[in-house]
Amino acid sequence: VSREIARRDERRISMSSKIAQFPFVRELDGFDFDAQPSLDQGQIRELATCRWIAHGDTLLFLGPPGTGKTHLAVAVGREAIRQNYNVQFITAATLVATLAKAHSDGSLDKQLAILSRPKLLIIDELGFVPLSKTGAELLFELISQRYERGSTFITSNLPFDEWTETFGSERLTGALLDRLTHHVSILEMNGESYRLAHSRARKAKT
Ligand code: ADP
Ligand code: MG
Residue nearest to atom 5 of ligand 1 (CA): 68
Task: Tell which atom from ligand 1 comes closest to the C-alpha of 124.
Answer: 2
Inform me whether the pLDDT recorded for 196 exceeds 50.
no
* pLDDT, tens digit (0-9, with 9 covering 90-100), for 86-135: 999 999 999 999 999 999 999 999 999 999 999 999 999 998 888 888 88
- Cβ of residue 91 lying under 6 Å from some atom of ligand 1: no
pLDDT band at 200 (very low <50, low <70, confident <90, very high): very low
pLDDT at 192: 52
147 neighbors 178 (Cβ within 8 angstroms): no
84/147 Cα distance (integer angstroms): 21
Instruction: Tell whether ligand 1 has an atom less than 6 A from the beta carbon of residue 146.
Output: no
Ligand 1 centroid distance, CA of 140 (Å): 28
- Taking CA atoms only, the protein residue closest to ligand 1 atom 27 is 68
Distance of alpha carbon 11 from alpha carbon 190, whole angstroms:
38
Say yes or no to pLDDT of 37 above 80: yes
| The predicted structure's pLDDT at residue 178 | 75
With pLDDT > 90 as the criterion, what percentage of the chain qualifies? 54
Q: Which atom of ligand 1 is nearest to the CA of 24?
A: 14
- Mention every residue, 6+ apart, whose C-beta is less than 8 A from residue 73: 61, 89, 122, 124, 153, 155
